[in-house]
Amino acid sequence: MGRLGLLLLLGGSVLWGQDVESLHQFNGFFKPSDRLTLQSHLRVRTNGNMSSFFQIRGGPIAYFAVKPRLSLIGGYYYIGQSNRTHDDIDEFHRAFGGVQVVLLKTPKLTLESRTLVERFISTPSGDFARGRQRLLVQKQGKGLLPYFSVEGLMVAHRGTVRVGVGVLQQMSPQLQMLMGYEMRQYTNGRVAHVLVSNLQFVQQRPR
């Protein structure tokens, strides 16, 4: 069924002139204290119906819990991205900060809000800022845990939307696997369909 769904997605996207991308993330979460969480992030993307390298990025992220449901976020990414007009790789940087709030938490689900302001530095089109606001609903419990997210992004008074859906599986107390799909709208009007995978290691603090 999974292969059939992938073939339908690829075929339908080609028919309508839309691209299928893939996005593969690797995250490590470490807790040096009860209030501070450090994340090591690496991500690789493909495009051209998953046939071409598109982008690699990586960097550190810090979360500081001001309150049990309120955290401050700060981070940096190095980004290497393929150039569509020649074979070189464009290298640039992204710094960001913001706040993450758990709006609702029950034994069955959580609703989380994340607000970020980002600064892109040394991109081929110059430096610019971007704002983004995401809402994420995640089922809690055991087994396959579905999630749904919607995010709005704003660059120079131009807004775009991203919608994601998928499942999270707790492979072990330290290891999580996420598989999903994301629809991405870009400022030039292009829409991409993204197949997402995410492997996460979560350090357990000794008691």
Q: What is the pLDDT of residues 37-88, one digit of tens each?
A: 999 999 999 988 888 999 999 999 999 999 999 999 999 999 999 987 667 8
Identify the pLDDT of residue 205.
61
Report the C-alpha gap between 73 and 99 in whole angstroms. 6
Which has more pLDDT, 197 or 16? 197
Per-residue pLDDT tens digits for 134-177: 999 999 998 999 999 999 999 998 999 999 999 999 999 899 99
Name the DSSP letter for residue 49.
T
What is the Cα 52 distance to its own chain's centre? 20
What is the Cα 21 distance to its own chain's centre? 13
Q: What are the structural domains, with CATH classification, of the chain?
A: 2-202 (2.40.160)
pTM of the model: 0.88
Report the C-alpha gap between 133 and 153 in whole angstroms. 7
